[in-house]
Structure 1
Amino acid sequence: MTLFLTDADVRAAFDWADAIAALRSAYAAPPDEARFPPRTMARGDGLWLRTLSGVPGEGGPMGAKLIAASLRHRRASYLIPLFDQESVELTALLDGHSITGFRTAATSALAADLLAPAGPLRVAVIGSGFEAQNHVRALAAIRALSSVTVFSPNPASRTRFTQELADLGMPLNTAESPQAAVDGADLVICAARSRDEQPTLRQVPAGATVVSIGSTLPEQRELATEVIARAQVIVADMVDEVIHDTGDMIAAEKAGVDFAGNVVSLADIVSGRANGRPADPDAIVLYKSVGSATQDLAVAAMCVRRAAELTLGTKLPVTISPVSK
């Protein structure tokens, strides 16, 4: 039977610690680019359909995430089908909306745990929405946070951010500018692009780790070129896409910043094939993410497992039957 999980089912089944553990296992698997090809984007008149697909090497379900979006109407739908690797049966269909936010934040937390200095972290967050809040919750599941300071252009949004995260029981502060937010921070989370696609983060303190998730397409900007130029190590979840398909890196390359030799994959960091933070305590380390099927499938499979344990979801009365070929 095929199990269908609504967005509410996904939220009820989700667990930060389990998600981070699933991602750690997925990224520690031996590298095989054929298993996770680059995402594809079909574009129409104000429409696009993005596909991320993968066949996990550790035997978990294979599948894809489909994102259908209408730019004119500012609407999007997310669908994740999962197939058993042995029987190729359709085992689950999931609303992928919350999984997208959960997997991004959980992967960032995994990267930050490996890249940020040891000990409690002073966190700055640029952005106050769904992704920004998820990142704080994900980080709190894996590291001690001594403080969190948020900047958003809207004061009401900053206040709402602190109210939504009050249950974490940690100091939550607001700042009136990005620079005021990042002063003294060990870890900077960039989770909001400016609407005019001008960089929202222009300076970071020495020794900081920066997590950037808001620039995933060539037309999008989040980080100033000088931030990228200062980074001694740039960790990417999808190296080629981060380098060639994100507006931040495209702008840095056009400005003459030679960063190619500093880029390593997140998989190499997780598996221990490469080192993350340099010995220099003042080094800037950047983790830049565009999202990947590795993340979607690991977190989706975890949600399906927990949903079965918690008797969540709906078993469909019909399904798609495999055929002989």
Structure 2
Amino acid sequence: MGASRTDWFDAEQLRAAVNMRTVVDHVREALVGLHGGDFEIPLRFAPGAGNFLVMPVRHIASETLVVKSLSANFTGRKPALSGTITWEEWHTERHVGTDAAEATAMRTGAVSGVAADLLAAPDADSLTVVGAGGQAPDQIRAVLAVRDISSVTVAALRRESAQACIARVADEFPHVRFTASDDPRAAVAGADIICCATPAKEPLFTLDDLKPGAQVNLIGSYRPEMREMSGADVARTALFVDDVEAVTAEAGEIIEAVEAGELEPGDLRTLGSALAAGDVAHDPDRVTVFKSVGVAVQDWALMRALVDATTTGTDS
């Protein structure tokens, strides 16, 4: 019996192999595939009240399996996310693994990029990111991959945290004006695109703080007790989600709105269905929200990009 082949890519090697534009494209395709029934995907297993997460997904046509396992600790551990993602192929003995924290940041940024590309104003040029942790830099990278952004504000409870986040990405975008803020409500006012990447349990701002036509990505909260906007506010927007079953089980904003009778689960529209239909146009008079708790097809998309790039030797 021959030995199986395992290829491991650390965080730096992952970044070198695939760029954000590539991951955005792969995540877009995977979301359309999810809508079309191309994946077998159970709800994630979250033991320890969400302290650990296990997320498997099988792509049916290619007979490939991706499994992510990680621990999530937002009480001061850095990085807050730690774990591994593995890629398995039924038809070969190859196994591919990479750092789950880095991969999660990249694919979570990418899904915000997909949402912004579809839902934000074509001429959007200002971005506010609320939250300055490990997810924030890739929110910036992804939005700037799909829109010609001239100004970025990073808002955090501590201005020093926002400044540290900016320092991680500013050299990549010398044409962009970066601003640090410690006032999320003020920071979102007037922004064309807002990305929230926090473990907040109370709303960060209200709908009235946003300008008409703003596009908001809520990607930080992933447990019923978490929320970055109120359920009542989210229900008043043009709302899209990554997966109906996942958000109605895990997203505090959605659960709150459904329990209050302000949303019906059957009325929720997935980003994948909107992408497949191609019938969504930016509404300059209405705020649009994309709510994501993260679904495993995003991990599969990131790993697909990595496998393609390292098999062919190019960033595909």
TM bucket (normalised to shorter chain) is 0.7 to 0.9
TM-score, normalized by length of structure 1?
A: 0.84
Query: 5+ residue gaps in structure 2?
Result: none
Identity %: 29
TM-score, normalized by length of structure 2?
A: 0.86
Q: Calculate the aligned-residue CA RMSD, in Å.
A: 2.6
Match of 1:285 in 2: 288
Q: How many residues align structurally?
A: 303
Out of 170, 176, 186, the residue aligned to residue 166 of structure 1 is: 170
The letter for the 1-side match of 2:251 is T
Superposed displacement of residue 12, structure 1: 2.5
Distance between the aligned counterparts of 2:225 and 2:104, measured in 1?
21
Superposed displacement of residue 33, structure 1: 7.3
Match of 1:95 in 2: 99
The Cα offsets for residues 29-58 of structure 1, whole Å up to 9 and x where unpaired, read as: 362276122212233xx7844221112245
Question: Is 1:53 aligned with 2:59?
Answer: no
Contact map agreement 2:18 2:309 (CA 8 A) in 1? yes
Kindly name which structure, 1 or 2, has the bigger radius of gyration based on alpha carbons. Answer: 1
Superposed displacement of residue 190, structure 1: 0.8
Secondary structure of 2:275's counterpart equals helix
The Cα offsets for residues 223-266 of structure 1, whole Å up to 9 and x where unpaired, read as: 123421321x2211121111232122222234442354542112
Out of 210, 222, 241, the residue aligned to residue 236 of structure 1 is: 241
Secondary structure of 1:27's counterpart equals helix
Change (3 A) 1:70 1:182: closer
Moved more, 46-55 or 139-148: 46-55
Change (3 A) 1:254 1:118: same
Change (3 A) 1:210 1:277: farther
Superposed displacement of residue 145, structure 1: 0.6
Question: Is 1:182 aligned with 2:180?
Answer: no
Change (3 A) 1:124 1:306: same
Contact map agreement 2:110 2:139 (CA 8 A) in 1? yes
Question: Is 1:148 aligned with 2:149?
Answer: no
Match of 2:274 in 1: 269
Query: 5+ residue gaps in structure 1?
Result: 312-325
Contact map agreement 1:26 1:56 (CA 8 A) in 2? no
Distance between the aligned counterparts of 2:252 and 2:267, measured in 1?
18
Contact map agreement 1:193 1:200 (CA 8 A) in 2? no
Distance between the aligned counterparts of 2:166 and 2:52, measured in 1?
35
Secondary structure of 1:184's counterpart equals coil
Change (3 A) 1:20 1:179: same
Question: Is 1:64 aligned with 2:64?
Answer: no
